[in-house]
Amino acid sequence: MHQIINEIRESFDNDLKIVTSAEQLENLRIAYLGRKGKISQLFEDFKNLPNEEKRTVGKELNILKTTSQNKFDEMKEKLSEGSSNGNADIDLTLPGRKVEVGTKHILTQTLEEMRDIFRGLGFSVHEGPELESDHLNFEMLNFPADHPARDMQDTFFVNKDFLLRTHTSPVQIRLMSNQKPPLRAIMPGKVYRNEAISAKSYCLFHQVEGLYIDTDVTFAELKGTIVSFAQQFYGKDVKYRFRPSFFPFTEPSAEVDIWWEPANGKEGRWLEILGCGMVDPNVLENCGIDSEKYVGYAFGMGVERIAMLKYGVSDIRTFFDNDKRFLKQF
């Protein structure tokens, strides 16, 4: 019996050395420590021994069972720690995985650059809701209900009184109605127009509008502000032009173009970047500002158009496709 105990002890130790998984360890437990295992079988044989041998053999059996169980528990804990650390399933021959670092969307980068330029020119930043009333979006800006200029902007109406704003001009109205001049601010945000989606137009885009109200504001100041922005954003050598235009909320009005030359060597052309003008006196009066004392200018530009011209993007839809091949270029 003593010899059998020693053989099983050596056999258990040898089998334990080659265990590398929880499944193998469980098979080892069943083979030795299970109800019908080798060690359990020794206790069954122990009952048939002469009484004079039971004392010494029983002591060895207990030691065998205890040490075997302890060794099993240690190996189980070791395998568990290796699994929790992820070491058991690591293939060291595999190449490492490249960690990609995210960046801000190109429209966000463009918008932040525009904000910084206008902040440097003394403008504060104001924002407003994207769901607006017809009253603030049109009527307060010199758009009567039957005004043909409403056809310039195809609108998403929620009901007859509310709509998704077609420009950020309602923020100007809120500012002029709630604060006294002088006022100098820009109004960035999303705007919506019910237009056919194409390479040059989208149903959603971003806009930055600007407003300056004081007692001695001139068109020359408006021009100086726009030129300063264009030179800071596009470079000192940018070519620009102002040409007459019409907007219901400004008089006189103008549109500003810059000269754009494609990188592919095609012939350059003038491209519009913004509309601007002196605030119509009716708009000032609608907001409770004395138009005999105060004057001002306003401008508005699309962020997508500004970014397209600077970075040579030919299709506005690219900004909204979420194609990582495009986005990671910036």
The answer, yes or no, to whether the previous bond of 129 is cis (omega within 30 of 0) is: no
Strand-pair partners of 131: 164
The answer, yes or no, to whether the previous bond of 182 is cis (omega within 30 of 0) is: yes
Amino acid type, 230: A
Beta 183-192 vs 124-125: how paired, if at all? parallel
Tokens of 14: 């040898």
Residue 20 is part of which domain span?
A: 2-84
Q: Residue for token digits 């044989």? A: 45
The total of other beta-carbon atoms located within 10 Å of residue 277's CB is: 22
State the pTM of this model: 0.66
Query: Is the pLDDT confidence value at 220 over 90?
Result: yes
Whether residues 149 and 297 fall in one domain: yes
Q: CATH number of the domain at 258, please.
A: 3.30.930.10
- The SS3 call for residue 217 is coil
Whether residues 255 and 316 fall in one domain: yes
- The SS3 call for residue 205 is strand
Whether residues 245 and 300 fall in one domain: yes
Q: What is the C-alpha separation between 230 and 171, in angstroms, rounded?
A: 23
- Split into its structural domains, the chain has a count of 2
Which spans in the chain are helix H? Answer: 2-17, 22-32, 38-46, 51-84, 106-120, 134-137, 169-178, 219-234, 281-286, 303-311, 324-327
Whether residues 276 and 320 fall in one domain: yes
Name the more confident of 244 and 53: 244
Burial class (CB in 10 A: 0-12, 13-18, 19+), 167: buried
Query: Is the pLDDT confidence value at 252 over 90?
Result: yes
| H helix or E strand, kind and range, residue 243 | strand 240-247
Domain end call among 84, 114, 136 = 84
Whether residues 192 and 44 fall in one domain: no
Q: What is the C-alpha separation between 209 and 264, in angstroms, rounded?
A: 32
Percentage of the chain with pLDDT > 90?
Answer: 46
pLDDT band at residue 190 under the 50/70/90 scheme: very high
Query: Is the pLDDT confidence value at 330 over 60?
Result: yes
Whether residues 258 and 167 fall in one domain: yes
Percentage of the chain with pLDDT > 70?
Answer: 94
Tokens of 61: 């059996």
Is 302 contained in some domain? yes
Q: What is the C-alpha separation between 110 and 120, in angstroms, rounded?
A: 16
Tokens of 41: 């079988």
The pLDDT assigned to 126 comes to 95
Using only the alpha carbons of the chain, give its radius of gyration: 40
Whether residues 63 and 122 fall in one domain: no
State pLDDT tens for residues 147-187.
665 665 688 889 888 999 999 999 999 999 999 999 999 99
Is 96 contained in some domain? no
The pLDDT assigned to 25 comes to 86
Is 89 contained in some domain? no
Whether residues 53 and 198 fall in one domain: no
The pLDDT assigned to 110 comes to 95
State pLDDT tens for residues 106-140.
999 999 999 999 999 999 999 999 999 989 988 89
Q: Residue 67, CB half-sphere, CA atoms under 13 Å: how many? A: 14
Whether residues 152 and 262 fall in one domain: yes
pLDDT band at residue 218 under the 50/70/90 scheme: very high
Name the more confident of 61 and 282: 282
The pLDDT assigned to 85 comes to 52
Domain end call among 84, 115, 141 = 84
The pLDDT assigned to 83 comes to 58
Residues composing the chain:
330
Whether residues 196 and 320 fall in one domain: yes
- Among 152, 140, 132, which residue's Cα sits nearest to residue 285? 140
Is 131 contained in some domain? yes
Average pLDDT score, the chain: 87
